[in-house]
Amino acid sequence: MKASPQRIEQHLASLIAVPSVTGDEYAAQDLVAAMLEEAGASVERLVVPLTEIETDPDFPGVEVPHTDLPIVAGRLRGLAPGPTRMVSGHVDVVPPGDPTSWTTPPFQPDVRDGAMYGRGACDMKGGLVAAIEALRLVAEAREFAGEIVVLAVPAEEDGGSGTFAAIKAGYSADACVIPEPTDLGLVVAHAGAITFTLDVPGRAAHASMRREGVSALDNLSYLVDALKADEAVRNASATTPEMVEIGLPYPTIIGQVEGGNWASTVMDRVVAHGRYGVTLEQDCDGAADDLRAAIERAAAEHEFLADNPVGVTVWGARFDSAALGGDHPLPASLEAAAARAGARVPARIGLPAGADMRLFINHADTPTVMYGPGDIRRAHSADEHVALADVVECAEVLAEWLVGSG
């Protein structure tokens, strides 16, 4: 089955041209629905109010205001009963940032040197277009048993509430592939992440009497060193080969720092926001326990912080980790599909980031892997792009997998 490079380029350009920053996905979902219908699918649409799922104990959280979650699915039924295979992708993108850092406007698709540029090209409208093209190729022949579903969800970037809502609405499958930007590698395990805030105390003093004060910024620096030591210990304990190969599968960072109210005053308070990895051996609650324990150990050995507690708050999106069992046939079936398509057989890899894969595995009893076009290093960046040839290759492999017997 051969995909159409021209159609893929046109569809991807059209989808990039519709901004779909998390929380504003309706227009993009309208376009996805039209593409699925034109490809031959029976289209299903639903809107899930956030209030219906946000009190669920497994709710993954949000970081962007939402009132409801628009979901689109395209379905094909085969010639005989059989398994349900799903390809799922998210339509939302992160904000483009400073537009002057882009060579061309972020929502003005542009093709240069065989790559499509624009916000979402890599993460993950390229993968979603590949899924739609794969469905079209299968629809033209209909020579398969069972059902095929292409699912398009909102709100992945801030936690995965779109996929969680789809699962609660009944979407599951015997196997699922998410075409996230894996550089056409086959992700069989991924880390998780939690967001945290440290409220770090100090003692104010005039700059000329600096030694009379205690800098909250210095205290934060001390805690960052402690978190680096904790990070080293946690990563040294990794045993899953695909995660070990990453080198740093469970990173910790401080991404935002706020503090100080006068240039010549010793800081008496610093607030820092960061990300803490969730290992394959734990859930988000376990990671939060590790984080608090690391801060408490460090504070207990600090002259000032031992008597002036550091506030630790875990908030926002909760990305659990997930892994597909090593003996599950799904990875081998995708590798076989790549061989049938004459494509590169993907290497099995791990991913040091959270993804919707964990929601299907942990909450929908749906074996899931990730395989898609694009380099994750290009995602969320200025001049984000994806090689169009990789989108074509992904579409052809997905089509072979959707109709395959493996």
Per-residue HEC secondary structure of 176-203 comes to EEECCCCCCCEEEEECEEEEEEEEEECE
Q: Which residues contact 47 (CB under 8 A, 6 or more apart)?
A: 68, 69, 70, 71
Nearest to 27 by CA among 14, 13, 12, 42: 14
Distance CA 117, CA 101 (A): 13
Determine which one of 25, 123, 133, 156 is catalytic. 156
Distance CA 105, CA 108 (A): 5
Distance CA 259, CA 261 (A): 7
92 classed as catalytic: yes
Distance CA 250, CA 290 (A): 12
Could you tell me if 308 and 350 are in contact, meaning their C-beta atoms sit under 8 angstroms apart? no
Determine which one of 92, 123, 320, 384 is catalytic. 92
156 classed as catalytic: yes
Q: Which residues contact 53 (CB under 8 A, 6 or more apart)?
A: 59, 161, 164, 165, 168
Distance CA 83, CA 157 (A): 29
CA dist list (Å): 124 to 62, 133, 199, 370, 384: 19, 14, 35, 12, 11
Question: For residue 320, what is the DSSP state?
Answer: -
Tokens matching residue 30 = 């309208």
Question: For residue 347, what is the DSSP state?
Answer: P
Using DSSP, state whether 84 is helix, strand or coil. Answer: strand
Catalytically annotated residues = 92, 156
